[in-house]
Structures are given as structure tokens and as C-alpha cells.
């Protein structure tokens, strides 16, 4: 009886909790295009006082590129607060990036009334969220037969094989099951054989060893008669190679497009970002590696300033604790060279800190005990061993739903083949039961970085009577967060205006002013012109001391005017 009462109470508690939630979202599946749009509209409707929903423009196929803005207008104007920009799925097949963005938006709004930290963030920051950049590619992933490596590109015609035709040799769903899977054919010299413990898995043959299978690639036929399969599919414009910093043409950087910002989404988003100088951190979510990636993306970008590197290292090291197994890395050094990518444009052209978030790690689907890593390497080829373990994960946690068994098929050109393999929503994507934790941890990392956007407080250090009607005023601006008010790159290349410290009062004459370099030794860098206005910035985890020598009495107001932190004022009486 007690167990029944406890169960009933739990059910009632769940129903009561659901009844109090203004928007109920289940992150146990992937949201298709219609669900994404409906969710954004529902959040905007239910939280109209704290959200704005707008389309930044249309894609190549006419779909809206939606932006959801979250902030509390009752606590200040949007452009007067530091902002974090977040987007996902610039590659259309990297679909769970959209779920992270939706979860972040929902969490900020749903927890506003119940979590003090979230309320403070929404009151003092702005979040710009674009859940799907590549709206065409991601929609096609859901609406057409696809595979986990299909749909990366913007839907822009391109001649991949240089035969004068565009997009003429795409993938085909030969067996009509709604998915584009792997093809293989029997071939003793094909380089693969069947795994001894699992006939779904293939093992590479060793030199001199007879095999069984040759891999033919994804489902399709030779449409243009050139002896190759699927070599000119839809697209190819990689929107993460289409941004305006160190862009390189397609013969240097594959997928670059005809010119920077030639994709409609990159152009629309760039125009929005340029109009929001309050953005001081950015997140762009992708889906493979379990990484927080920063630049440089190539040697052309040059090294990042030491102060900026310290900021990145602090945030990245904390992120590795928030999401165990993830690593913060440098794109050019730890991955590969990229030109014209979003992160580099944001840092090098806009002066904005940020990370590229790579969401998925294959190790998350491991099926082995801790300490077996070295043991498994000795068994056989590493990739085949990983595939074997993944099949065990598939059997025992996903109950066979991730893989389609190999099935005979009569190919119109190749004859008897087999079709099968890992299904569309696998390999680079979390199984449905893992989506929510993935989304929450990454949203938590966004929230952590938002907490470290610059937050400056003004305090009066002292006033000193110098005689002859002169008074020395010293003011301190303190920023105890990781992000400075301006990055080192922004300062070096003058990408944004510096913060302005100014002093005014009725009848007040400002004799001199400058930045105090050493309070104890009384060293000050004085400005030569307009001493009532001091242009500088406030560093990471630090302070900036300002000094004026003025003549006059009465009320004096000191103002701190910053693009990437909230403005402050300080009043005193002389």
C-alpha cells in the first residue's frame, strides 16, 4: 500500500510540475523543421515580454532564418547590455546543434522565475539565438532520403566534378526505405572481411590476405556515365568557409563559394551581427569531436594575443569540467586549416571571443569497462573494434534500432550488391535517450560563458584637495569576470571603439586626466586633448583606475560608456 501511495504522489507531482510549466518540450527526439519553427513561435508567444522573434532573411530555397532574442527590457535597453550570440547547424547534417539552441532558449525562459542565476543573466545580458543557420540542408535531412554525411552544404548549384554540369549525380534511395545507406559488393581483393564475432561488422584485411567485401560508398547510380557514383550531389557551398576574413577561393578552400558572404544565410547573419556591437561572445555548434575550438584557423590569421589566450584557456578548462571528455583546442594546430570560417571572422573582424562547439564524441557510445582501451587495441584493427563495440551498444542500449542489416539488392549497373549500415540518425548523432543531457551540458557551458561577459562596477577611490581650487579625483572600474571589455585583437586592429570614462559638472573645469598606471607610485598616463574623456578598456579579472584634476565645486558625475558591458555612472559632491 505504501508503494502505491508513493507512486501516486509522484505522478501527481509530475502532473503539477507540468501544469506550472508554460512551455513543455521533450528533448527525447530530434526536432524537424516544422517543430523548430513551432517551438520558437510558442516560446515567443508565451514569453512575449522577454523575447523577440524575427526572420533575418530567406534561404536559397525560401525558408526563413529565424532569430530569437532573449532579454528583459524592464532592466534596460537591449544594446546597453553585453550579449552572447549562439547558432547551430551551419552544416545541415549536424542536426543536434539545433536542439542545443532550442534547449538553451527554453531553459533561460522556463527557469527565469525559479533559478536566481538564470533570472540575473536574463536581466543583465542579451541572448541572440539562431537555432538553424543552414535551414535548407537541415530540412532536407528530415524531408528526403538522407544519410548522416549528407546535407552539409547550402543548396547552391555547383559543378563538383568539372564536367560542365551541376548537381547531376546525386545519391539515390535505391531500396526505397527512406534512407541513404552503405553499399558493398563481394570482392576477394576489396580490402574487407567479415568480423569473426559479428557479421554486421567488417575488418580490414592484412597484406596478402584474401577478403570478402569492397565498399562502394553510399546508395546511388552513375547518372552521368563517367564511371563514378554520387560525385556531384546537391551543392557544394560550405557556409563555414564563406565568411569574410581570410576567405580563399574554392581551388584553395573547398566549399568556399563564389565570393565571401555569397550564401544568403552568411550574408544575413553577418549584417545582423555588425548591427549589434554589444555582442562580446559567440557560440557556433557543430556535431563531431567533443571540442571547444578556437582559432587561429590558419597561419594567415596570425597568433592570438597572450591576454586573449589566457581568457580562452580559462573558459576552456572550466568547460572541460562542465562537459567531461570534451577538450578545448586550437583549430589550426589540433584539427586542420580553415579559411573563411565563422569563428575567425568573429574574432579577427569583429573582435569577439567565442568557441565552435563540436557536440558528439564516439566514446560516448562505448561498450566496454574502464581500463580496456589498451586491451582492445591489441584485438584487431581499431576502427573495426570500435564498430564491434558500437554494435553491442546498438544491441543492448538502442535495441537494434541504429543499424540496418546487410540486405541483397540488384543494382542496375553493378549487379548483385548489398545495402545496409548505420542509419541516418546515427554515427554523428546521439541516440534519442542521450539528447537531453547533451543539450543541457552544452547549454550550461553557454550560460557559464555568459556569466563571464564583462560586468563593470565603478567605485570612488579618493578625492584630494590640491590647493588653489584644484581637486584630484580617482575612480576605479572593476571587472571580476573573465572577458575584458575589449579583446586584444579588437584593441590592436581597432575593431571597436574603446570604453569612454568621462567627467562632468556644472561649472567644472577639467585640468588634466589620464589612466593611473600605479596608484602607489603615483604614475599616470595623461591624455593631451579633451582630458574630460579617457578612452581605454577594463581588463579580464582586473581593474582600471582613472584620474582627473578638476577646478570647481558642486555635483560631479563620472560616466563609464562601453559597447560590450552595461554603462555605469558615479556621482559625488565637491
Over residues 63-74, the pLDDT tens digits come to: 999 999 999 999
CATH of domain 2-140+237-360+440-451: 3.40.630.10
pLDDT of residue 382: 53
pLDDT at 378 over 70: no
Mean pLDDT of the chain: 92
- Rounded mean pLDDT, 480-504: 97
Cβ proximity of 135 and 97 under 8 Å: no
* CATH level 2 (architecture), domain 456-573: Sandwich (2.60)
pLDDT of residue 23: 87
pLDDT band of 2, cuts 50, 70, 90: very low
Measured CA to CA in angstroms, residue 261 lies from 307, 341, 345, 448 at distances of 30, 11, 11, 31
Alpha carbon 350 to chain centroid distance? 16
SS3 425: coil
pLDDT of residue 509: 96
Q: pLDDT tens digits, residue range 435-468?
A: 999 999 999 999 999 999 999 999 999 999 999 9
Name the strand (E) or helix (H) holding 389: helix 382-396
What is the DSSP track for 465-529?
A: EEETTEEEEEEEEEE-SSS-SS-HHHHHHT-SPPEEEEEE-TT-EEEEEEEEEETTTTEEEE-SS
Apex CA 132: angle with CA 127 and CA 135, to 5°? Answer: 150
Q: pLDDT tens digits, residue range 87-99?
A: 999 999 999 999 9
SS3 84: strand
Cell numbers given for 238: 560550405
- Rounded mean pLDDT, 554-567: 96
Weakest-pLDDT range from 10-14, 190-194, 302-306: 10-14
Measured CA to CA in angstroms, residue 302 lies from 297, 298, 344, 348, 489 at distances of 9, 8, 11, 10, 10
pLDDT at 7 over 80: no
Q: pLDDT tens digits, residue range 233-281?
A: 998 999 999 999 999 999 999 999 999 999 999 999 999 999 999 999 9
Weakest-pLDDT range from 73-82, 376-385, 539-548: 376-385
Cβ proximity of 142 and 51 under 8 Å: no
| Residue 418, beta-bridge partner list | 184, 408
Name the strand (E) or helix (H) holding 573: strand 568-573
pLDDT band of 305, cuts 50, 70, 90: very high
Distance CA 39, CA 19 (A): 18
The ranges assigned to domains in the chain are: 2-140+237-360+440-451, 159-234+363-422, 456-573
Distance CA 305, CA 493 (A): 12
Give the residue ranges of DSSP H helices in 197-305: 264-274
pLDDT at 5 over 80: no
User: What phi and psi, each to the nearest 5 degrees, are found at residue 101?
Assistant: -65, -45
pLDDT band of 386, cuts 50, 70, 90: confident
Those residues with Cβ within 8 angstroms of residue 536's Cβ, 6 or more apart along the chain or in another chain: 498, 499, 501, 515, 544, 546
pLDDT of residue 20: 55
- Rounded mean pLDDT, 313-324: 97
pLDDT of residue 366: 83
Distance CA 251, CA 267 (A): 22
Pairing of strands 198-204, 126-130: unpaired
pLDDT band of 374, cuts 50, 70, 90: low
Amino acid at each position: 500500500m505504501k508503494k502505491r501511495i508513493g507512486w501516486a504522489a509522484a505522478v501527481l507531482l509530475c502532473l503539477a510540475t507540468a501544469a506550472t510549466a508554460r512551455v513543455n518540450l521533450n528533448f527525447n527526439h530530434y526536432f524537424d523543421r516544422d517543430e523548430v519553427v513551432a517551438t520558437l513561435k510558442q516560446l515567443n508567444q508565451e514569453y512575449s515580454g522577454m523575447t523577440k522573434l524575427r526572420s533575418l532573411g530567406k534561404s536559397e530555397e525560401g525558408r526563413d532564418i529565424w532569430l530569437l532574442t532573449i532579454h528583459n527590457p524592464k532592466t534596460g535597453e537591449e544594446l546597453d547590455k553585453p550579449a552572447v550570440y549562439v547558432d547551430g547547424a551551419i552544416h545541415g547534417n549536424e542536426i543536434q546543434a539545433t536542439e542545443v539552441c532550442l534547449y538553451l532558449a527554453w531553459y533561460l525562459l522556463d527557469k527565469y522565475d525559479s533559478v536566481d542565476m538564470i533570472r540575473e543573466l536574463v536581466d543583465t545580458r542579451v541572448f541572440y539565438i539562431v537555432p538553424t543557420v543552414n535551414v535548407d540542408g537541415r530540412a532536407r535531412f528530415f524531408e528526403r532520403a538522407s544519410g548522416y554525411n549528407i546535407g552539409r552544404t547550402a543548396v547552391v548549384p555547383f559543378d563538383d566534378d568539372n564536367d560542365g554540369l551541376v548537381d547531376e549525380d546525386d545519391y539515390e534511395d535505391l531500396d526505397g526505405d527512406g534512407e541513404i545507406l552503405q553499399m558493398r559488393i563481394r570482392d576477394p581483393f576489396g580490402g574487407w572481411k567479415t568480423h569473426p564475432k559479428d557479421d554486421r561488422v567488417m575488418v580490414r584485411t592484412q597484406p596478402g590476405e584474401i577478403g570478402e567485401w569492397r565498399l562502394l560508398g553510399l546508395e546511388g547510380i552513375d547518372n552521368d556515365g563517367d564511371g563514378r557514383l554520387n560525385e556531384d550531389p546537391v551543392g557544394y557551398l560550405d557556409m563555414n568557409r564563406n565568411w569574410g576574413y581570410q576567405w580563399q577561393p574554392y581551388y584553395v578552400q573547398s566549399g568556399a563559394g563564389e565570393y565571401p558572404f555569397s550564401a544568403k544565410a552568411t550574408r544575413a547573419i553577418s549584417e545582423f551581427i555588425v548591427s549589434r556591437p554589444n555582442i562580446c561572445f559567440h557560440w557556433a555548434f557543430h556535431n563531431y569531436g567533443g571540442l571547444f575550438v578556437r582559432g587561429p584557423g590558419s597561419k594567415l590569421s596570425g597568433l592570438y594575443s597572450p591576454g586573449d589566450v589566457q581568457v580562452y584557456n580559462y573558459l576552456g578548462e572550466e568547460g572541460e569540467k562542465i562537459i567531461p571528455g570534451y577538450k578545448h583546442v586550437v583549430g589550426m594546430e589540433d584539427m586542420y586549416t580553415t579559411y573563411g570560417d565563422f569563428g575567425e571572422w568573429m574574432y579577427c573582424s569583429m573582435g569577439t571571443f567565442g568557441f565552435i562547439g563540436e557536440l558528439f564524441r564516439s566514446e560516448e557510445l562505448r561498450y566496454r569497462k574502464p581500463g580496456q582501451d589498451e586491451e582492445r587495441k591489441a584485438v584487431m584493427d581499431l576502427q573495426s573494434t570500435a564498430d564491434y563495440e558500437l554494435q553491442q551498444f546498438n544491441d543492448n542500449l538502442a535495441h537494434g534500432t541504429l543499424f540496418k542489416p546487410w540486405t541483397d539488392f540488384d543494382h542496375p549497373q553493378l549487379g548483385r550488391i548489398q545495402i545496409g549500415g548505420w542509419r541516418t540518425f546515427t554515427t554523428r548523432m546521439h541516440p534519442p535517450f542521450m539528447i537531453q543531457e547533451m543539450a543541457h551540458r552544452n547549454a550550461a557551458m553557454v550560460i557559464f560563458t555568459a556569466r563571464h561577459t564583462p560586468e563593470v562596477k565603478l567605485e570612488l577611490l579618493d578625492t584630494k584637495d590640491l590647493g588653489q581650487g584644484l581637486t584630484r579625483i580617482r575612480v576605479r572600474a572593476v571587472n571580476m569576470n573573465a572577458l575584458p571589455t575589449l579583446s586584444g585583437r579588437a584593441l590592436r586592429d581597432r575593431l571597436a571603439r574603446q570604453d569612454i570614462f568621462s567627467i562632468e559638472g556644472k561649472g567644472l573645469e577639467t585640468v588634466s586626466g589620464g589612466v593611473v598606471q600605479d596608484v602607489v607610485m603615483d604614475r599616470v598616463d595623461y591624455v593631451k586633448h579633451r582630458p574630460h574623456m579617457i578612452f581605454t578598456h577594463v581588463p579580464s579579472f582586473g581593474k582600471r583606475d582613472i584620474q582627473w584634476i578638476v577646478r570647481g565645486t558642486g555635483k560631479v558625475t563620472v560616466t563609464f560608456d562601453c559597447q560590450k558591458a552595461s554603462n555605469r555612472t558615479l556621482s559625488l559632491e565637491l
